[in-house]
Amino acid sequence: MIDNELQQIESNLKRNAVLTDLGSALSRLKSNRDFKKVILEGFFEDEAVRLVHLKADPNMQGSDSQKAILIQMDAIGALRQYLETLAQLAGMAQKSIEADEQTRDELLAEGL
């Protein structure tokens, strides 16, 4: 019984380590000045504002133009949501690692 639990915990630890590694990579990206300039400021802010203005442009009121603008706006939102979700998953994975390590230590102590 304890062996099965330990195997499950080890499996969880490996899976959560992958998520925490991704979270660490994301943190490094967010602190990189080029990433900030190109993505966080350039794409998430400047490009979003440009698209909002373009959406109101009288020359861009055709249905195809409006549709293309909305697709681009959705892309900004999708990338931002992906990055935020990744950060949240990494945070939850870190908490899970801590709990699983504690449980593993308790199980090993019981087995002795």
> Could you give the number of structural domains in the chain?
1
Run of H or E including 86: helix 63-111
- Give me the residue label for tokens 């442009």: 57
Q: What is the pLDDT of residues 2-44, one digit of tens each?
A: 788 989 999 999 999 999 999 999 999 999 999 999 999 999 9
pLDDT band at residue 111 using 50, 70 and 90 as cut-offs: confident
pLDDT of residue 112: 66
Are the CB atoms for 2 and 110 separated by under 8 Å?
yes
What is the span of the domain harbouring residue 104?
A: 2-111
